[in-house]
Amino acid sequence: MAATTFRAAVRDKGELTLPAGIREVLGVSPGDELEFAINDDGVVEVHGLRKIRADQAWFSTERWQAGEREASEDVAAGRTTRHEGVDEMFAHLTSPAPGRR
């Protein structure tokens, strides 16, 4: 599959208008920022930023954050288990829950 290319002209003060297709891929809209990283081989990577990189926005979804809150509440309430090793942990995870068969 061929790469999709876009062009934008740089204006006097280094400004440019990002084509709509680029804004969509980066997940940015007016007011968002961009992060540029230059690799050792000279390739420039561009990431859209909100409060975090746009490609990591899944962590900020309400569903994910609700799970984080639930996990924090479980830890605070002592609803945790400790295992001596990986085998013991997996045995616990794959065993039927108490009261279920």
Q: Is the pTM of this model over 0.75?
A: no
Domain count, the chain: 2
85 in a domain, yes or no? yes
Cα 99 to Cα 70, 90, 96: the distances in Å are 22, 19, 8
Predicted local distance difference test score (pLDDT) of residue 49: 85
Predicted local distance difference test score (pLDDT) of residue 59: 84
Give the position of tokens 């891929």: 25
8 in a domain, yes or no? no
Nearest to 24 by CA among 57, 66, 2, 54: 54
Q: pLDDT band for 6, please (50, 70, 90 cuts).
A: very high
84 in a domain, yes or no? yes
4 in a domain, yes or no? no
Predicted local distance difference test score (pLDDT) of residue 45: 94
Note whether 65 and 50 are same-domain residues.
no
The chain-wide mean pLDDT, for the chain, equals 89
Choose between 75 and 99: higher pLDDT.
75
Mark residue 13 as left, alpha or beta (left: phi above 0; alpha: psi -120 to 50; beta: remaining). alpha
2 in a domain, yes or no? no
Between CA 85 and CA 16 the distance in angstroms is 55
70 in a domain, yes or no? yes
Is residue 35 a contact partner of residue 47, using CB atoms and an 8 Å limit? yes
Cα 71 to Cα 31, 85, 95: the distances in Å are 33, 21, 20
24 in a domain, yes or no? yes
13 in a domain, yes or no? no
Note whether 48 and 67 are same-domain residues.
no
Predicted local distance difference test score (pLDDT) of residue 62: 87
- Domain of residue 48 covers 20-56
